[in-house]
Structure 1
């Protein structure tokens, strides 16, 4: 093995942002290498895609390979989001949205989905090295250098014209380059698994929509139920630690986590009824303190993609969409950088990417504050407002034409007031 190897662009991580970036770079003729610590397929959550992501998958030439495997991998057609809080029910149809673009997508097992994207990136000429780990990084030189270790313990170095970090929660560059910045979100925990959901022809459940359920006794706690096309679902609950402690939280083993999960579900009658025939048959896992941020998203010869830069919260399934958007924004700038053009990464990458993330953030904050929940479960919404909200829930957070994206937090507060108190229609008209 050569101790020093060369490529045009090296990417850390073969998840959606890394694979899509590689595919886009291959379209431009660059030699691309991906270093991936794990072997695919591997388990991951974040299974509910948003329609906006279809635009980025098509741009990268990856949509067809996903579409070709829908039946084989039981990817579930998805056209919206449904909400449950006690006896209250609500839903949004993504085809009835304010923003132009796809209104449907799929709910996918990420093990299969991520493997498909990586395999197609490899088919397009990307050199993907599974089971290889980045152990050192040097970006202080004109062309960054990675030190990589393979599973035999052998080390080698890769020098590239540009480095992209798509390592997700591994957050390789933020750790090596001291870029990590504390998230200002409260520390939350997720407990999750895959289940046999046992939901057959239930008029109260639509398999074509993700179901987000609010815990009736604590609106800060919520469940996701993401159905696949074969009678199985991804199932999880998110809350702050004090909520879990009420239920004798124990994460010693998968079995003790399952016992905690069952106690919490039993205290939620409406969702328990929906899942009355479910079977837990897969190990239960947990993540805590997953929200993350960084001081900067790019430097002179590197950039951070997707969750390696910032992760908000799973509540609106924005992770994959943000990951794919980051690749779509970054690759043209990488191309220009390599060709010797001046690129202002702050103005052309970080600010545009964070603009949409800021919109998602406003809705996440409003969800946990209860304001957006009051909007979602209100019957006091006109059709135009519903379409604007549907666009956001479908992932179109970068649509400047959507009025509720401007000063999103303030506008959500106004909308929540309208929904709670049925104030004058003029207030809502002002938002439009």
Structure 2
């Protein structure tokens, strides 16, 4: 094997966390090399950004390149989230929120979006090696070493002063270093595709908001509809395994996922009406058991970013925001390491990052228990509470000034009880 190559920082993966970390590090003058197994652009889900992510994109110097290509790639202006369940409808406008910061963002096809971020990181001086696969990891020495194979099956080693894993669902370091820890979420499956949505002048549909629909017969199941600016949408359904089996799903490799998704759509009259003119023209995909966790997020010479560390659930579109937040948090700490300073990774990185993740977790758990669904569809929310919830749905999960940030799980429980009591009171008044 040839002489070991050298760089300041190695990053595994060129998705949003990897590209933003690279951009931030290049702004500080460091050499950065990204090892990326795939070639960009490539398909990915997670297309509905949250306004909080705009802060991190701007910090990394990546926001302007996205803004410059909004029309070219039909990125859809987004100002909130809409919810649908049978005849019940609700929405949150992210411009009306408790937290300071942007209230709008975009809904994006991830293939061009991720490619834009990676290309901008390259323009800023990062080296991205597309089509290169990590086949071994050594973090025992002071400076970590990756063994990498390129598309010509040539193998080489590269060493860095610090290593960042931004490999997303590839979860390279968790697998090589035995860091994986079981998620305590039930195993759920997502079935999804892109469609020509055919939605023209529907008064009940707002293209500037993601639409989340709760399945009327099984509230554990929900659909996403993420519109783009060219009449197309990302469409998918998330549920536990038994839900799909009830709709005829089997585990054969040749199973017709498009027919399954159409049957599940037809089982919800309200959403079927919204998508009555939809054309399914793209292969349907599925992802199962995606929730993940790890034993720890960082050590003396490496750290995990975004989905490589923890992924909760797609219901509130938190993935990209958590990925960008992790890059924003980690880069100043990497710089401290490179300058010979001590870093307490638990106190300075893991705990601050997990504070926001735990807030998102509280909302995900309350969604599937039904408590947060009660809140979302309640007509009896106090305005202050509504603004606080809007902030969290907009991604501001690290805003400790927001009163429902603290003890989020308990506060959501109290709010849910209040909404239910108000509904019962009104119902009793109507009866009497």
| Deviation sequence 1:225-268 (CA, Å, 0-9, x none) | 00000000000000000000001014546761111111111110
Contact 2:80 2:394 in 1 (8 A): yes
Displacement of 1:3: 4.1
Match of 1:241 in 2: 241
| Structure 1 contact 20–327 (Cα < 8 Å) conserved | yes
* Pairing 1:33-44 to 2, within 5 Å after superposition: 33-44=33-44
Distance in 1 of aligned mates of 2:424 and 2:22: 51
Matches of 1:57 and 1:288, distance apart in 2: 29
2:132 is the counterpart of 1:132: yes
1:286 corresponding residue in structure 2 = 286
Runs of 5+ consecutive residues of structure 1 not aligned to the other structure: 426-432
Distance 1:230 1:241 in 2: 33
Please name the residue that 2:84 is paired with.
84
Match of residue 430 from structure 1: none
- 2:385 is aligned to 385
Structure 1 runs of 4+ with >3 Å offset: 250-255
Residue deviations 1:127-182, cap 9 Å, x none? 00000000000000000000000011000000000000000000000000000000
Query: Is 2:393 aligned against 1:376?
Result: no
**Aligned to 1:230, what secondary structure does the other structure show?**
coil
Distance apart, 1:383 and its partner CA: 1.1
Aligned partner of 1:225 in structure 2 is 225
Which residue of 2 is the match for residue 24 of structure 1? 24
2:330 corresponding residue in structure 1:
330
* CA contact 1:250–1:256 (8 Å) conserved in 2: no
What is the alpha-carbon distance in structure 2 between the residues aligned to residue 403 and residue 191 of structure 1?
A: 36
DSSP-derived class of the 1:315 partner:
helix
1:167-201 deviation per Cα after TM superposition (whole angstroms, max 9, x unaligned): 00000000000000000000000000000000012
**What residue in structure 1 maps to residue 116 of structure 2?**
116
Contact 1:48-1:317 within 8 A present in 2 as well: yes
Q: TM-score, normalised by structure 1?
A: 0.97
Query: Structure 2 length as normaliser, TM-score?
Result: 0.97
1:208–1:423 CA distance, 2 compared to 1 (3 A): closer
1:267 corresponding residue in structure 2: 267
Deviations 1:27-71 (A, max 9, x none): 000000000000000000000000000000000000000000000
Question: Match for residue 15 of structure 1?
Answer: 15
Report the Cα distance in structure 1 between the residues aligned to 2:126 and 2:16, rounded to whole angstroms: 14
Q: Distance in 2 between matches of 1:2 and 1:30?
A: 24
Cα distance change, pair 218–423 in 1 and its aligned pair in 2 (3 A): closer
- When the two chains are superposed, the root-mean-square deviation of aligned CA atoms in Å is 1.3
